[in-house]
Structure 1
């Protein structure tokens, strides 16, 4: 099957200044401008960090990031915090891109509300390809994101786990509809969704370590066929029993 085209340009967005309700303390205009400036500076430094990762690899150092940014480590620490803070900022940018591509892939496959709208394999292809597209385009950034710095990160704050949970939640919504409509127990939808996400993540990690790795389109097709066999059997088995 032909893989869906995806955007792989990581763009860091600055967050708008929050508005304040009537009657609350009004932020001085200079404070608002300074806050906006800090957000813009943080976004720019995050982009610089991503460029440095691409140039120097996943083991990039803060000195190399500062050199690419044309500033000092002190400035980076001021806006992004320590290496963990920089890591989390990069992860947030990558997460937004993966989620945007994932949503676009579901739109393209026609699976905005359910898996069985089209062939389940088309939905699985869209989901898998949206993830592997970034892995292939930005391998060093992917390695950086999936290998956090040697510091303790609470499980509920781990960006990799958080991204997997977000994608699995979206798949859960799709699967639950189909399980319910085919008379299956929809409470199993989260397990199935997380299983699919885990399959893709582990396969992506293995794929990236293979020096003679197969083309992305081949891996996507094989994984999709493997997963779709299970989905087809699960979603249509009950229908066969009722005939």
Structure 2
């Protein structure tokens, strides 16, 4: 008769090491893909990415399935990078004007530094594999954070908190639309000037809440 000792079976060490190796290898391939996109532009193909990575397309397909899989991995990496660069950690302690201005400046700085990468992420690959809309995904995540910050501010001011969600997602959507247009104009105006235009639009609206 088998006796239950209450001790879980020891996992296969080799399998765990192999899984960790695959995770590390996949992460390294994504990093190389990002470098290739920065160097060659958003229309880059799998051959160029493979060459940048010092590997073959077969290896890329083994780790990511197809170009859509690699694209999704790059999108996730870029989203994590953008979120780290945005002033969201202490967002609830900011005044709305300060948050929108800092958010706009940080987001436009990412676009300015990594235009090729931004355009790559914003262009979903055509094919049979369905891919989530990367813009909707990242703006929703940021919008949720900004909405929470606006709600905290409205609560501190003793104001109706109901508009917070509309304002938060609206502000983020506006900043994204400005960034997208800024790219189309080849970053014609300086970033500081574009951020100032955004500030001049939103500040009177926030100030008006205290007077209403």
Q: Distance in 2 between matches of 1:50 and 1:100?
A: 17
Q: Distance in 1 between matches of 2:91 and 2:170?
A: 20
Mapping of residues 3-42 of structure 1, within 5 Å:
23-42=7-26
| Equivalent of 2:77 in 48, 72, 93 | 93
Larger radius of gyration: 2
Aligned in 2, Cα 1:194/1:81: closer, same or farther, shift over 3 Å? same
Mapping of residues 45-64 of structure 1, within 5 Å:
45-64=29-48
Secondary structure, in 3 states, of the residue corresponding to 1:127?
helix
Matched, 1:196 2:180: no
Mapping of residues 121-136 of structure 1, within 5 Å:
121-136=97-112
Q: Per chain length, whose mean CA-contact separation is higher, i.e. which structure has more relative contact order (CA < 8 Å, sep 6+)?
A: 1
- The alpha carbon displacement at 1:133 in A equals 1.0
Q: Distance in 1 between matches of 2:8 and 2:71?
A: 35
List alignment gaps of at least 5 residues for structure 2: 1-5
Matched, 1:233 2:208: yes
- TM-score calculated relative to the size of structure 1: 0.78
Q: Distance in 2 between matches of 1:26 and 1:159?
A: 40
8 Å CA contact 1:98, 1:134 repeated in 2: yes
8 Å CA contact 1:124, 1:224 repeated in 2: yes
Q: Distance in 2 between matches of 1:177 and 1:226?
A: 22
Q: Across the two proteins, how many residue pairs are aligned to each other?
A: 206
Secondary structure, in 3 states, of the residue corresponding to 2:117?
helix
8 Å CA contact 1:106, 1:126 repeated in 2: no
User: Deviations 1:102-125 (Å, cap 9, x if unpaired)?
Assistant: 1xx356xxx542443xxx432222
- TM-score calculated relative to the size of structure 2: 0.89
8 Å CA contact 2:91, 2:99 repeated in 1: no
| Equivalent of 1:137 in 113, 118, 121 | 113
Other-structure match for 2:3 = none
Q: Distance in 1 between matches of 2:40 and 2:143?
A: 32
Matched, 1:167 2:151: no
Aligned in 2, Cα 1:182/1:112: closer, same or farther, shift over 3 Å? same
Q: Distance in 1 between matches of 2:55 and 2:187?
A: 39
After TM superposition, where is structure 1 displaced by more than 4 Å over at least 4 residues in a row?
22-25
Aligned in 2, Cα 1:233/1:24: closer, same or farther, shift over 3 Å? farther
8 Å CA contact 2:155, 2:161 repeated in 1: yes
